[in-house]
Amino acid sequence: MQEVSGIDPLLDEALAAIVSRASFSGFQESGSRRFHEASKIEGGKRRFEQALGQPFVLRSSDSGFMTAEEVSPFTGEPLGIRYEDEDIDALYSRADTAMRSWAKVPPSERVKLCVDLLRDIDACGFEIAHAVMHTAGQSFPMAFAGSGANALDRGLEAVAWAWREMSALPETARWSKAFGKGEPVTLEKKYRIVPRGAALVFCCASYPTWNGYPAMFANLACGNPVVVKPHPTAVLPMAIAVRVMREGLERNGHDPDLVQMIIDSTAQPKGKVLIEHPGTAIIDFTGSARFGSWVERNAGDRPCFTETSGINSVIVESTDDYDAMLDALANTLCLFSAQMCTSPQTFHVPASGIRCADGSTVSADAFERALVERIDRLAENSPRASSVMGCIQSPGTLELLQDWEQRAKKEHYRVLRKSVPYENADDSRARTATPLVLGMDPERHEPITEEIFGPVAFVIRHPDRDAALALASETARRYGGLTSFLYSTDDHYVDLAIEAFAWAGAALTCNLSGSMPLNFSAAYSDLHVSGLNPAGNATLAEPTFIAGRFRYAQHRRPVGNP
Amino acid sequence: MQEVSGIDPLLDEALAAIVSRASFSGFQESGSRRFHEASKIEGGKRRFEQALGQPFVLRSSDSGFMTAEEVSPFTGEPLGIRYEDEDIDALYSRADTAMRSWAKVPPSERVKLCVDLLRDIDACGFEIAHAVMHTAGQSFPMAFAGSGANALDRGLEAVAWAWREMSALPETARWSKAFGKGEPVTLEKKYRIVPRGAALVFCCASYPTWNGYPAMFANLACGNPVVVKPHPTAVLPMAIAVRVMREGLERNGHDPDLVQMIIDSTAQPKGKVLIEHPGTAIIDFTGSARFGSWVERNAGDRPCFTETSGINSVIVESTDDYDAMLDALANTLCLFSAQMCTSPQTFHVPASGIRCADGSTVSADAFERALVERIDRLAENSPRASSVMGCIQSPGTLELLQDWEQRAKKEHYRVLRKSVPYENADDSRARTATPLVLGMDPERHEPITEEIFGPVAFVIRHPDRDAALALASETARRYGGLTSFLYSTDDHYVDLAIEAFAWAGAALTCNLSGSMPLNFSAAYSDLHVSGLNPAGNATLAEPTFIAGRFRYAQHRRPVGNP
């Protein structure tokens, strides 16, 4: 491998971190005044407010504009922002033109510029955080950290891998070989990185930047122009990032059309048209399992990176700190109201109960009650609930919660806890919902075979722990799953779970409690999406996330023997 | 990256070569008595002869057997070898069982064993060379080098890349981070390589080992069981390799069902059934463009590595050694009767002729005559023709040649040279055919849009050199192409060609003549298949050839702070 360090000190740290997998962040996670000047904090908020009700001009104020479907989950007010309604063919044509000159820029320069663009986006962290709050519904701390620094770190991680992979072959080599009795033939060979074409990046509504940045930056670093298609209800965060990237590209003498955005509406989605467009050379998709599987079927031989959805499980078998475990479980279930792809949905418990460190056993009934009680306690603490739970992104989620509550009655699930709103401390108008908790028995009820996006938890009672592990791991393997969680003090059982979830492809967290959210996934260290089950193949990040985003062209010619 | 060297000295050399791209071979290319004991040479031949007309037992002599469609292109005699006709479901079930234990073997041990298995195959080089001669129709020198050492080198190259990619992440890491005001959380994280499942490897008829070994060994190294499906007319070379690998696996205490073979017939092909089998997790396909595109459409989200076909071009614009160039062109066209995926098919010439070093110009007419004359000269020299051209693998190729000769008359192509047999020095019964050369004008004739597999060359006369480059590169980009060749003394034109063929994805060789065959593709140094056009995506070899053949599973748990 070529020398990869020395391009940028931040990139060097990222390159070290992806190998050591030690903790690293290139960006500030806290939006506190301790770390930022007041003018920056207020300026970001003001910029967000100034965007409301206005056209958001990325390219030309002469374009047709379309109002997005953005409605703040905090205020219930439409954002009223109009975005350019681009002609698709013209957009792809501009992307192709931009690629031709970008391909001539040496990969090391492209990579360096990508790192600088990440810094530029970071400089707009407050503006983006407010945009995330009022589209995705994240609380401010999560919007600033999770959709800010954590997302930028995932982007930087992708740039580091892209650079590492682009450095796998030398640019040039000399090769000598004798054929038969002839003089040796000496050839000079050159290996050139060739981009693929426009990369279409679908962003999701609840966590647009975290999946968006890795795809956008991996593509751009590898030479491909990027077309961002945000979710119609969460455009602004991506629009700001696209604006910043375009400005940075132009300032550095590059074609801003290397990063473009296209918007659509729920009534007239453009996803299929874009996938079928011959200009789309690479697909990065985050979204629903239903459309995701259509995308996978229609990607043909184009590189296609997906994250759809999964059913994440917790198995509670035994614990040496029952109290801390309960807090950890309640917290992870409440975190952003379980609107994260890593949030658990099913809780598996042996019917015989949970063994504790003191030799006692907590019955399954008692565990259910205690879990509900911890959720109640969190929900009743308005400032804490506001910070942890944030808002419900989509009104559809509230309907889903109602549907499941009705269904529970009909199908005799035990309704352990109803979903009710909590009082949001930031805005009394906020759309909120605390977790619905349902009790199920696998032998009496249909198995859960799809993700229910939002704060719903099923506590599933099993005849024994082996049945719990079998169902939890098989569900992930068959229907998709990103994460799994286990509480067990029995090393043998832990080993069985490690084995089962490895084959199922759901990243396992064992016996974690305390200050770290269970489902926190750290850039440079935690792999996100395994590629081993239907939840997707877009692993953040290792070399497969880069593979196919560029290809090599080779030429060779004779040179005089040395 | 982890330390990768030290597992095996041969692998260390391969690991160095894939980075330096310098000339390297781990195996002996010559089958001469100067390098091998007579007993080895004769033993290999005898083993081949003993196989004729017999059952070839890989697993159990109780199986049902099926006679393959193997007929020697040298003798015209059927080989009459019967191979086990395996039940598909049972075969996949055995593969899955084998994978479970193989996955537990540390990747470094798997890789070491793969290198040893390559050595074992090499030890059967003479037996395999005779098997290749009498199925694919290669001459002995080509069968021993091209289907022996060169193919093993491609296999070793794939093992080196597999090992390098499997070493990208550490097996274990420690990670510490403080959340909020809490104590730092320290986690131990483990990253485990998880294989995907049975890898189905389709081998072609004319060059089975060269594409087969890289796929087989990349899969095996990454933990996947291999199912080899040879072409029904060229089973024996792969059967021997599978036998050797099974024996080596068993001798080292591993499940021999990690490498299995399944045969079919032209009348009842099993390709579609195997692709659609839920047990097929990875697809490696070498074969026709038609079935290849069906394979790509039906691969779904499974890793699918393809090499189908391409239209390879030569552009002759100017030269400083006209004579040597003519020899190089005639040779490459005759090499194995152009039954190589790297053989050129179209020769592009400016109508104004070819500029030579002495300032003279050779007319396009004169070039056509000279090319034909060089081919004639080669064809008339029976020992040399035998060594260079070998036999025609399939009787269908002779029909194809006749068709094109008829079509030329109808469509008024100029028939510059008819295809006639040459006198093979090894066996007078050999099925031989010298190149058919046709003259075409792009403005008068339909463009060539598909590979014609066999010794056919079109000399296409263009109004100017730019038109020649445009058509040659656009044909590769649009219909597929692996190689391209250019003769030009004008640096500006060479640069234009480098640019055009880079975007078209056809590896370019400039101004090569002399002892090296133009279309020789060196393991560890020359990239084969670019992934940039419809000829396929199975690049031999760089990291994309490995991507997706394994995935990572991760688990993490708290450990005491240090």
* pLDDT tens, residue by residue, B348-386: 999 999 999 999 999 999 999 999 999 999 999 999 999
Number of helices (H) and strands (E), helices first, in chain A? 17, 21
Q: How many CB atoms lie within 10 A of CB B449?
A: 10
Closest chain A C-alpha to B514 CA, distance in angstroms: 8
Distances (CA, A) of A355 to A151, A351, A360, B435: 38, 12, 6, 80
Those residues with Cβ within 8 angstroms of residue B115's Cβ, 6 or more apart along the chain or in another chain: B7, B8, B10, B11, B156, B159
pLDDT higher than 90, residue B509: yes
How far apart CA B178 and CA B168 sit, in angstroms, is 27
User: Which residue has tokens 């007010």?
Assistant: A77
Q: Compute φ and ψ for B307, nearest 5 degrees.
A: -135, 115
pLDDT at B2: 62
How far apart CA B314 and CA B462 sit, in angstroms, is 13
CB-based contact, A396 to chain B, within 8 Å: no
Q: How many CB atoms lie within 10 A of CB B528?
A: 24
Residues 257-316 of A with CB under 8 A from B: 296-297, 300-301, 304, 306
What pTM does this model have? 0.97
pLDDT higher than 50, residue B544: yes
pLDDT higher than 50, residue A110: yes
pLDDT at A297: 87
pLDDT higher than 80, residue A265: yes
Give the pLDDT mean for A534-549: 98
Cα(first)–Cα(last) distance of chain A, in Å?
A: 24
Give the confidence band of A562 by pLDDT, cuts at 50, 70, 90. Answer: very low
Q: State which residue of chain A sits closest to B508, comparing Cα positions.
A: A555
Q: State which residue of chain A sits closest to B141, comparing Cα positions.
A: A180
Minimal Cβ distance to B555: which of A170, A498, A551: A498
Q: Two tokens at B464?
A: 């100017």
How far apart CA A297 and CA B41 sit, in angstroms, is 51
Give the pLDDT mean for B401-416: 94
pLDDT higher than 70, residue B132: yes
B contact test, residue of A544, A556, A557 with most B CBs within 10 A? A544
Give the confidence band of B562 by pLDDT, cuts at 50, 70, 90. Answer: very low
How far apart CA B546 and CA B165 sit, in angstroms, is 7
- Picking from B442, B523, B416, B539, the residue whose alpha carbon sits closest to that of residue B118 is B523
ipTM attached to this prediction:
0.97
The string of pLDDT tens digits covering residues A34-64 is 999 999 999 999 999 999 999 999 998 787 9
Strand partners, A347: A314, A459
Minimal Cβ distance to B531: which of A21, A525, A551: A551
Q: Do B515 and A182 touch (CB under 8 A)?
A: yes
pLDDT at A181: 84
Where does residue A486 rank: exposed (0-12), middle (13-18), buried (19+ CB within 10 A)?
Answer: buried
Minimal Cβ distance to A511: which of B23, B169, B558: B558
Strand partners, A482: none
- Picking from A81, A50, A53, the residue whose alpha carbon sits closest to that of residue A66 is A81
Find chain B residues with C-beta within 8 A of A185's C-beta: 512, 514-516
Query: SS3 of B8, please?
Result: coil
Classify the C-alpha dihedral B30-B32-B35-B38 as positive or negative.
Answer: positive
The string of pLDDT tens digits covering residues A83-92 is 999 999 999 9
Q: Compute φ and ψ for A366, nearest 5 degrees.
A: -65, -35
Phi-psi category of B412—alpha, beta or left, where left has phi over 0 and alpha has psi -120 to 50?
left
Give the pLDDT mean for B305-331: 97
Find chain A residues with C-beta within 8 A of B22's C-beta: 173-176
Q: Do A501 and B553 touch (CB under 8 A)?
A: yes
DSSP readout, A428-442? TT----PPEEEEE-T
Q: State which residue of chain B sits closest to A521, comparing Cα positions.
A: B556
Minimal Cβ distance to B502: which of A182, A194, A300: A194
Question: Do B398 and B339 meet the contact criterion of CB atoms below 8 Å apart?
Answer: no
Residue at B252: amino acid letter: N
Closest chain A C-alpha to B213 CA, distance in angstroms: 22
Those residues with Cβ within 8 angstroms of residue B46's Cβ, 6 or more apart along the chain or in another chain: none
| Size of chain A, expressed as the number of residues it contains | 562
The string of pLDDT tens digits covering residues A275-308 is 999 999 999 999 998 899 899 889 988 999 999 9
Output DSSP code: residue B147. Answer: I
Q: Of all helices (H) and strands (E), which one includes residue B367?
A: helix B364-380
pLDDT at A63: 78
pLDDT at B215: 98
Q: Do B557 and A511 touch (CB under 8 A)?
A: yes
Q: In what order do the strands lie in the sheet with A280-286?
A: A259-261, A226-229, A198-202, A280-286, A304-307
- Picking from A487, A479, A491, the residue whose alpha carbon sits closest to that of residue A518 is A487
CB-based contact, A495 to chain B, within 8 Å: no
Distances (CA, A) of B222 to A220, B3, B216, B552: 30, 17, 10, 11
Classify the C-alpha dihedral B361-B367-B369-B374 as positive or negative.
Answer: positive
CB-based contact, B443 to chain A, within 8 Å: no
Q: State which residue of chain A sits closest to B503, comparing Cα positions.
A: A194
- Picking from B59, B43, B195, B53, the residue whose alpha carbon sits closest to that of residue B127 is B43
How far apart CA A75 and CA B176 sit, in angstroms, is 38
Those residues with Cβ within 8 angstroms of residue B222's Cβ, 6 or more apart along the chain or in another chain: B107, B162, B166, B193, B195, B196, B546, B549, B550
Q: Do A548 and B553 touch (CB under 8 A)?
A: no
pLDDT at A1: 52
Q: Two tokens at A139?
A: 């609380």
pLDDT higher than 90, residue B547: yes
Question: Do B511 and B491 meet the contact criterion of CB atoms below 8 Å apart?
Answer: no
Q: Do B555 and A509 touch (CB under 8 A)?
A: yes
Query: SS3 of A154, please?
Result: helix
Q: Which domains does chain B have, with CATH numbers?
A: 9-19+55-165+197-308+539-549 (3.40.605.10), 313-510 (3.40.309.10)
pLDDT at A2: 62
User: Which residue has tokens 């390159």?
Assistant: A15
Minimal Cβ distance to B179: which of A19, A168, A516: A516
Q: Do B555 and A507 touch (CB under 8 A)?
A: yes
Question: Do B281 and B300 meet the contact criterion of CB atoms below 8 Å apart?
Answer: no
pLDDT at B180: 85
Query: SS3 of B555, please?
Result: strand
Residues 137-196 of B with CB under 8 A from A: 165, 168-170, 173-180, 182-183, 185, 187, 189-192, 194, 196
Q: Do B515 and A183 touch (CB under 8 A)?
A: yes
CB-based contact, B557 to chain A, within 8 Å: yes
Mean of per-residue pLDDT scores for chain A: 96
pLDDT at A396: 97
CB-based contact, B491 to chain A, within 8 Å: no
- The full 3-state SS of B176-197, as one line of letters, equals EEECCCCCEEEEEEEEEEEECC
Q: Two tokens at A430?
A: 């906020």
Query: SS3 of B484, please?
Result: strand
Mean of per-residue pLDDT scores for chain B: 96
pLDDT at A180: 85
Q: Do B548 and A544 touch (CB under 8 A)?
A: yes
Minimal Cβ distance to B505: which of A300, A530, A551: A551
How far apart CA B96 and CA B227 sit, in angstroms, is 11
Minimal Cβ distance to B547: which of A301, A511, A547: A547
Q: In what order do the strands lie in the sheet with A82-84?
A: A55-56, A82-84, A65-67
Give the pLDDT mean for A480-500: 98
Q: Compute φ and ψ for A419, nearest 5 degrees.
A: -90, 120
Give the confidence band of B442 by pLDDT, cuts at 50, 70, 90. Answer: confident
Q: Compute φ and ψ for B203, nearest 5 degrees.
A: -110, 150
Q: Do B527 and A174 touch (CB under 8 A)?
A: no
- Picking from A303, A168, A11, A324, the residue whose alpha carbon sits closest to that of residue B537 is A303
Those residues with Cβ within 8 angstroms of residue A84's Cβ, 6 or more apart along the chain or in another chain: A56, A57, A58, A59, A60, A63, A64, A65, A66, A261, A263
Distances (CA, A) of B154 to A189, A308, A541, B214, B477: 18, 37, 28, 6, 25
User: Which residue has tokens 């910043």?
Assistant: A244
Residues 54-73 of B with CB under 8 A from A: none
The string of pLDDT tens digits covering residues A202-225 is 999 999 999 999 999 999 999 999
The H-assigned helical ranges of A58-207 are 88-102, 107-123, 125-136, 140-144, 150-166
Q: Do A552 and B530 touch (CB under 8 A)?
A: yes
The string of pLDDT tens digits covering residues B209-229 is 999 999 999 999 999 999 999
pLDDT higher than 80, residue A561: no
Residue at A403: amino acid letter: D
Residues 85-114 of B with CB under 8 A from A: none
Minimal Cβ distance to B557: which of A510, A539, A547: A510
Find chain A residues with C-beta within 8 A of B544's C-beta: 547-548, 551
Distances (CA, A) of B307 to A76, B271, B293, B336, B519: 55, 15, 10, 19, 16
Q: Two tokens at B46?
A: 């005898």
pLDDT at B1: 52
Distances (CA, A) of A102 to A107, A110, A305: 9, 8, 23
Distances (CA, A) of B505 to A191, B21, B143, B191, B304: 12, 19, 28, 35, 19
Query: SS3 of B66, please?
Result: strand
Minimal Cβ distance to B168: which of A169, A170, A542: A542
